Structure formats: C-alpha cells, structure tokens
Amino acid sequence: MRNHHLRRAAAAVAALAAVLALTSCTTDAQRASDNASVAADNFEVNRLIVGINGITDKVLFSVEGRCSITRDGDLTVICKEGPNEYKKHVLGLSQNVTFVSTQLQPIDVDVYRTRIILKPENIVPNFDLSTGVQ
C-alpha cells in the first residue's frame, strides 16, 4: 500500500516538473506574441495589410479590418465583415513584392497564461446534403 502511494506521489511530482519545464521555456514576449496571434486568428485584432512593389515603391494592395493572415507561397487574408460574414483575399507575392501587416490598436494579452480556444462547432462539421435525380 505504501509503495502505491509513493509511486503516485512520484508520478505527480514528475508531471508537475514536466509542466513547469515546458512553461518556463517561454519568455513573456513570446507568450504575448502567441496570444496576440490567437486573438488575430479569432478576428479580434484590427489590422492594416499593405503590399508594396520593391522596385517601384508603389502600393499594390491594402486590406484593413479584423483579418487573419496565413502565408503559404501567396498571402491569404480572411477578414470578418459581420457576425457570420467573411471575405477571403489571396494576394500573390513575388521576389519584388512584400507586405507589411500593422496592428491598428493595442490589445490586452496575458503573458502569464497561454490562450487556448476550443470551439465545439469545429469538432462536428457543418455539411450540406445535396441529392439529385439519377
């Protein structure tokens, strides 16, 4: 019986040490950056995204609003326009074109806790059933 309690205590101490080791590796700046990225991906951050031609210095495009950015070759910007309205913009980037994304207002992020958002509606997919005459 005593061995059982010692093993449980040792497991608890090991788990606590692992959690502390994982959380202590992150600086306050990195935690704030991660939490700000989560906020932006949830359309809580107003941004101004500007594309610039590196040769002519001319502005090629600008997008402003509550936007999430992903970059996979091209720049994909999804902006929330209303409660259930979104616009997706795909902007081509090349060697001569760069972009700048600026956060327009400060946001409140926690540097002591990692922000995790779980959305049950993303677990169960929303699908449309279409049937036809064969």
Q: Per-domain residue ranges for the chain?
A: 28-123
84 pLDDT more than 80: yes
117 pLDDT more than 80: no
Burial label, 71 (beta-carbon count in 10 A; 0-12, 13-18, 19+): exposed
* pTM of full prediction above 0.75: no
Residue-level pLDDT at 32? 84
**Contact yes or no for 54/63 (Cβ under 8 A):** no
Task: Give 38's pLDDT tier (boundaries 50, 70, 90).
Answer: confident
118 pLDDT more than 60: yes
Residue-level pLDDT at 106? 81
Q: Which residues contact 68 (CB under 8 A, 6 or more apart)?
A: 40, 41, 42, 43, 77, 78, 79
